[in-house]
């Protein structure tokens, strides 16, 4: 609260005159694919996997309870870019794309005179799904590889950034470095002392899928090794985040650039006898609770925001920060009142996520309800962070109350368009990449 009061005072002292002479703000949005919030020291993890993200959090505001709107990339990013829930934009599967009439964050910013570019790891971020709308540059070429890495993406992004000096811009970055097969270099070249059966193996989705069906048996030591391989991907990605922050400093852009860091979903690491986040339609916290840090150069850093946030809030937030009008169809809420300490106690009292037309989640006040084809599971996130104890039978009144909220939410946020959305035909090359990544089976 003390930090928020300081932020308010700083804003008041700046006054209209300072605002009038301030340079236009730029925006850099980083989404680190498959990054769980609970594997970051800034969120209480027991080791420092991402010192640059920790630095960013210390210089900005960290949202402790941010929710992705889906458990997988395409649906979630479609929600982030349009500020719409999945059932509203209709992109549930890889055979669908954003409808041409959808308004995206990049399109609004381009119309407002911003230079816009995205550098991504392709696959489920491919421009063929309509995610490229509004971007002057949309790099999603991974060559023969199924997924792209910051190793190829970031140099292109930094070159584009350097060329935009003196112009107002919106830059979006995303890579698959944290995502399976968990194959990034060990931090400092120091491999842990592990000699189990997984050593030297590619930890692809196809390989790890055997854990769920019983054909792959894993010990506690094996699971710890997989977690360490996952953490290595976080540290690897974090190095590129640090390079980006350094480039902003070098170009003199840090004082005029809002930096937002998040993820479109988390990852399943064997907690439920599985690594199949996508196949299971995982809506547990490991899949939908994501990090969210916003560094606005106009406000002091160090704030930790306890109120809930959603990825659909990012479009309204960015536009609010830049003083631009939020499209009437947006279903998220600007987080700017939280950054200034002006939000009421009921801000985002309920947040939602979806894993298909029949599987939804609602989270509120430490309680979480998952509805799967009419079957309800209830969890007390305060006393059962791992979501191991289903309290639906013991607390029917709570189930009923949250289920009613789910029904009202679905009715209130329907767009009237078919949930099939617009269709897209996947090319043989895209199917090959999806097979190689362990997603596609024919």
pLDDT in tens, 341-373: 777 678 999 999 999 999 999 999 899 999 999
User: What is the average pLDDT across 298-305?
Assistant: 92
**Listed range (19-28, 285-294, 418-427) with the worst mean pLDDT:** 418-427
* Percent of the chain residues past pLDDT 90, beyond the cut: 79
Strands 169-175 and 137-139, by their bridges, are: unpaired
pLDDT at 20 exceeding the cut of 80: no
Which residue range forms the structural domain that includes residue 108? Answer: 2-349
Looking at the domain assignment, is residue 56 inside a domain?
Answer: yes
Report the pLDDT value the prediction gives residue 431, as an integer from 0 to 100.
78
Report the pLDDT value the prediction gives residue 416, as an integer from 0 to 100.
55
Looking at the domain assignment, is residue 407 inside a domain?
Answer: no
- Beta-strand ranges (E) seen in 33-97 are 61-67, 96-97
User: What is the average pLDDT across 393-421?
Assistant: 84
User: What is the average pLDDT across 74-85?
Assistant: 97
pLDDT at 270 exceeding the cut of 50: yes
pLDDT classification of 14: cutoffs 50, 70, 90: very low
pLDDT at 13 exceeding the cut of 80: no
Displacement of CA 411 from its chain's centroid (Å): 25
Report the pLDDT value the prediction gives residue 242, as an integer from 0 to 100.
98
Looking at the domain assignment, is residue 408 inside a domain?
Answer: no
Give the span between the Cα atoms of 316 and 84, in whole angstroms: 11
pLDDT at 418 exceeding the cut of 60: no
**Does residue 56 contact residue 28 with C-beta atoms inside 8 Å?**
no
Looking at the domain assignment, is residue 362 inside a domain?
Answer: no
User: What is the average pLDDT across 385-406?
Assistant: 96
- Beta-strand ranges (E) seen in 185-278 are 257-262
Displacement of CA 15 from its chain's centroid (Å): 34
pLDDT in tens, 316-350: 999 999 999 999 999 999 999 999 877 767 899 99
Q: Output the CA torsion sign for 334, 91, 283, 359.
A: positive
Report the pLDDT value the prediction gives residue 19, as an integer from 0 to 100.
38
b vs e for 91-111, b when ≥16 Cβ sit within 10 Å of the residue's Cβ? Answer: bbebebbbbeebbbbbbbbbe
Report the pLDDT value the prediction gives residue 423, as an integer from 0 to 100.
74
pLDDT classification of 393: cutoffs 50, 70, 90: very high
pLDDT in tens, 87-128: 999 999 988 999 999 999 999 999 999 999 999 999 899 999
pLDDT at 402 exceeding the cut of 70: yes
**Which letter does DSSP use for residue 68 in this model?**
-
User: What is the average pLDDT across 299-323?
Assistant: 96
pLDDT classification of 4: cutoffs 50, 70, 90: very low
pLDDT at 144 exceeding the cut of 80: yes
Looking at the domain assignment, is residue 10 inside a domain?
Answer: yes
**Does residue 130 contact residue 98 with C-beta atoms inside 8 Å?**
yes
Q: Is 11 exposed, middle or buried (0-12, 13-18, 19+ CB in 10 A)?
A: middle
Looking at the domain assignment, is residue 432 inside a domain?
Answer: no
User: What is the average pLDDT across 299-328?
Assistant: 96
Looking at the domain assignment, is residue 410 inside a domain?
Answer: no
Report the pLDDT value the prediction gives residue 18, as an integer from 0 to 100.
38
Could you tell me the pTM of the whole model? 0.91
User: What is the average pLDDT across 217-241?
Assistant: 97
* DSSP H or E segment with residue 32: strand 26-32
Preceding amide of 88 cis, omega within 30: no
- How many domains are there within the chain? 1
Report the pLDDT value the prediction gives residue 85, as an integer from 0 to 100.
97
User: What is the average pLDDT across 401-425?
Assistant: 79
Report the pLDDT value the prediction gives residue 24, as an integer from 0 to 100.
85
Report the pLDDT value the prediction gives residue 23, as an integer from 0 to 100.
67
Cβ count near 169 (within 10 Å): 22
Give the span between the Cα atoms of 92 and 89, in whole angstroms: 9
**Does residue 160 contact residue 122 with C-beta atoms inside 8 Å?**
no
Q: What CATH number does the domain containing 139 carry?
A: 3.40.720.10
DSSP for 258-296, written as a single string: EEEEE-S-----STTS---HHHHT--SHHHHEE-EEEE-
């Amino acid at each position: 609260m003390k930090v928020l009061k300081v932020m308010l005072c700083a804003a008041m002292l700046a006054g209209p005159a300072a605002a009038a002479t301030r340079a236009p703000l730029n925006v850099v949005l980083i989404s680190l694919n498959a990054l769980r919030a609970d594997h970051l020291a800034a969120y209480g993890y027991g080791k420092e996997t991402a010192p640059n993200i920790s630095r960013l959090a210390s210089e900005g505001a960290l949202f402790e309870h941010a929710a992705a709107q889906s458990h997988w990339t395409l649906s979630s990013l479609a929600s982030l870019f349009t500020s719409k829930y999945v059932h509203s934009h209709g992109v549930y599967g890889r055979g669908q794309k954003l409808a041409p009439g959808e308004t995206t964050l990049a399109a609004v910013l381009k119309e407002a005179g911003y230079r816009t570019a995205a550098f991504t790891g392709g696959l489920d971020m491919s421009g063929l799904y309509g995610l490229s709308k509004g971007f002057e540059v949309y790099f999603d070429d991974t060559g023969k590889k199924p997924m792209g890495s910051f190793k190829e993406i970031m140099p292109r992004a930094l070159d584009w950034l350097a060329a935009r000096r003196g112009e107002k811009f919106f830059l979006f970055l995303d890579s698959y470095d944290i995502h399976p097969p968990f194959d990034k270099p060990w931090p400092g070249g120091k491999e842990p002392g592990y000699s189990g059966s997984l050593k030297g193996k590619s930890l692809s989705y196809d390989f790890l899928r055997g854990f769920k069906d019983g054909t792959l048996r894993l010990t506690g030591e094996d699971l710890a090794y997989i977690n360490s391989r996952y953490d290595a991907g976080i540290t690897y990605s974090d190095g590129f985040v640090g390079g980006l922050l350094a480039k902003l400093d070098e170009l003199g852009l840090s004082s005029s650039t809002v930096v937002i860091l998040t993820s479109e979903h988390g990852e399943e690491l064997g907690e439920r006898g599985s690594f199949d986040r996508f196949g299971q339609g995982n809506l547990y916290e490991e899949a939908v609770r994501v990090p969210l840090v916003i560094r606005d150069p106009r406000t002091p850093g160090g704030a930790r925001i306890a109120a809930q946030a959603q990825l659909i809030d990012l479009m309204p937030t960015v536009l609010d920060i830049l003083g631009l009008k939020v499209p009437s169809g947006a279903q998220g809420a600007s987080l700017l009142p939280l950054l200034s300490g002006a939000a009421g106690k009921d801000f985002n009292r309920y947040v939602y996520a979806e894993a298909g037309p029949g599987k939804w989640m609602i989270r509120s006040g430490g309680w979480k309800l998952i509805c799967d084809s009419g079957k309800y599971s209830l969890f007390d996130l305060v006393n059962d962070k791992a979501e191991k104890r289903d309290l639906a039978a013991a607390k029917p009144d709570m189930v009923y109350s949250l289920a009613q909220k789910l029904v009202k939410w679905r009715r209130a946020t329907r767009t009237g368009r078919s949930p099939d959305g617009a269709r897209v035909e996947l090319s043989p090359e895209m199917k090959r990449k999806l097979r190689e990544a362990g997603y596609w089976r024919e």
